[in-house]
Amino acid sequence: MNRPIRRVAVVCMVMFTLLLLNATYNIVVRQSGLNADSRNRRVRDAEFAQDRGPILAGQEQIARSEPSDGTFGYQRLYDQPYLYAPITGYYSYDHGNTSLEANYSSKLAGTDDSQFVRRTLDLATGEQPKGASVETTINPAAQQAAYNGLEGKKGAVVAMDPQTGAILAMVSTPSFDPNAIASHDLQEANESWSQLAEDPNNPLTNRATREIYPPGSVFKLVTAAAALENGHPADAPIDSPEQLRLPGTQTDLGNDTYCGGNQISMEQALKVSCNTAFANLALEVGEDEMRAKAEEFGFGTQPLAELNAVASRYPTEMNDAQLAMTGIGQYEVAATPLQMTLVASAIANRGQLYRPYVVETVRASNLSPIETHRPDLMGRPLSGENADALAGMMETVVTEGTGTNAQISGATVGGKTSTAQSAPDRPPYAWFTSFAKDDEGTPKIAVTVFVEDAGVSRSEVSGGGLAAPIARDVMESVL
């Protein structure tokens, strides 16, 4: 071979090598980025046409795919859409996906790395690839009871198994129909999405996990827990004047009811929801210990990644007046309904707090498990003794105090009501956070009901009147 031919051969080999390296780089390194690029319509077309696996609640398919004669091979459908929309989310061509449709998208589509072997077998046999099924922890009866209770109201309900962290119900109202956004008629789907996005009632927002609100008196549970864990005996008297001058101010904090005297027990303070007593407890515990206890219950964390839960908030850098107000769930304290369910859950479960989860099992198309959840202990914000003491106080709230509307025959129910002030131009928020135990004392369910707006006058808003009956119905559906 003469020199010119050798040079040409070397140049060709170098070019082929560079070409192979570039192809390898694109496949190995850039593939996921290229696939995710919004301009890559071929990938989007292929994904939208896939036979996605179902999402289930109990034995019910709440999201599924069916063959379609249209542009795309399969149409995503949602059964009982308004009931389950906060959990399933939606799967849209132009607006992406949300909730479980987003966080389990690759598994539902069958493109996840865990399904590589299945895809390879399908390729070899010529079978159409199928996505995995996602089995949720949702109890359909509890879900229906929560949705029925919130009918005509704006709000949210979260129910959880205190012994595992499994979410038993999650409802947010007003809800929406994901079918309209998943339509193959893209113009119609875009119009539907725009209408929902512009709706002042924010139906696309999951109020159970994605919004934080002033919790008001339900936060007194955290204050009581902080006091107990920092050495305040359950039976020790607490100063409970009719008016408490907030430190360093000319402002007096009052009570909404007669507390029972100028010094009362913690149980009495919780039963009648005495503001001045809990403000004094917060001052006694101190800012650092109050914040630490709130964080042990989950404040400042995002406890349910499956549904993109936001963090609840306990403020920093306060003066004593602001600290006192946090003791009654005011100032800048803000929580999701999910967060307050975690608080009730830990109290009911003798201080053990399990991390919440909403997906039990993911199964391949041949029903073999790809992923199975195991209960995960998140922490222990209370000792067993202090948790039992506080649970007993919550039970008194239901038997004798502001939460009597949550009573269930044959079950032990504990709860805490709240009528939380939000803004002068709108009614307060109604809260009720609670738990129920069976006749053997085993905690079966923790429930938080949040009513943002019930369409009633300000004087008719109360946690015991609006929220407690809903919680009772949800607990009864499980018990």
Contact 251, 245 (CB under 8 A): yes
> Residue with structure tokens 């928020």?
429
Cα 138 to Cα 86, 158, 221: the distances in Å are 12, 11, 26
State the sign of the Cα–Cα–Cα–Cα dihedral 396, 400, 402, 408.
positive
CA dist., res. 367 & res. 419, Å (int)? 47
Nearest one of 310, 319, 314 to 299, comparing CA atoms: 314
Contact 129, 119 (CB under 8 A): yes
Nearest one of 344, 304, 300 to 434, comparing CA atoms: 344
Query: What pLDDT does residue 56 have?
Result: 96
Contact 328, 217 (CB under 8 A): yes
Question: Which H/E stretch holds residue 148?
Answer: helix 140-149
Residue 364 belongs to a domain: no
Q: How far apart are the first and last CA of the chain?
A: 88
Question: Can you give the pLDDT of all 479 residues of the chain as single tens digits?
Answer: 577 777 777 777 877 777 777 767 666 666 556 555 555 555 556 666 678 899 999 999 999 999 888 777 889 999 999 999 999 999 998 898 999 999 998 888 877 666 545 545 554 445 566 788 999 999 999 999 999 999 999 999 999 999 999 999 999 999 999 999 999 889 999 999 999 999 999 999 999 999 999 999 999 999 999 999 999 999 899 999 999 999 999 999 999 889 999 999 999 999 999 999 999 999 999 999 999 999 999 999 999 989 999 999 999 989 999 999 999 999 999 999 999 999 999 999 999 999 999 999 999 878 888 889 999 999 999 999 999 999 999 999 999 999 999 999 989 999 999 988 777 777 889 999 999 999 888 999 999 999 998 888 777 888 888 999 999 999 999 98
Q: Which domain holds residue 384?
A: 216-358+377-478
CATH number of the domain bearing residue 316: 3.40.710.10
Query: What pLDDT does residue 34 have?
Result: 57
Residue 120 belongs to a domain: no
Query: What pLDDT does residue 16 have?
Result: 79
Residue 330 belongs to a domain: yes
Secondary-structure percent of the chain, ordered helix, strand, coil, rounded to 5:
40, 20, 35
Residue 123 belongs to a domain: no
Query: What pLDDT does residue 27 have?
Result: 61
Residue 363 belongs to a domain: no
3-state secondary structure of 436: strand
CA dist., res. 439 & res. 465, Å (int)? 26
Query: What pLDDT does residue 256 have?
Result: 87
CA dist., res. 358 & res. 242, Å (int)? 44
Residue 392 belongs to a domain: yes
217 tagged catalytic? yes
- From the list 92, 105, 175, 217, the catalytic residue is 217
99: left (phi over 0), alpha (psi -120 to 50) or beta: left
3-state secondary structure of 249: coil
Domain count, the chain: 1
473: left (phi over 0), alpha (psi -120 to 50) or beta: alpha
Contact 224, 390 (CB under 8 A): yes
Residue 301 belongs to a domain: yes
- What single-letter amino acid sits at 176? F
Residue 372 belongs to a domain: no
CA dist., res. 382 & res. 397, Å (int)? 20
Instruction: Give the global pTM.
Output: 0.87
- Residue 379: Cβ-neighbour burial (10 angstroms; 0-12, 13-18, 19+): middle
Which are the contacts of 455, defined by CB distance < 8 A and separation ≥ 6?
152, 153
Query: What pLDDT does residue 428 have?
Result: 87
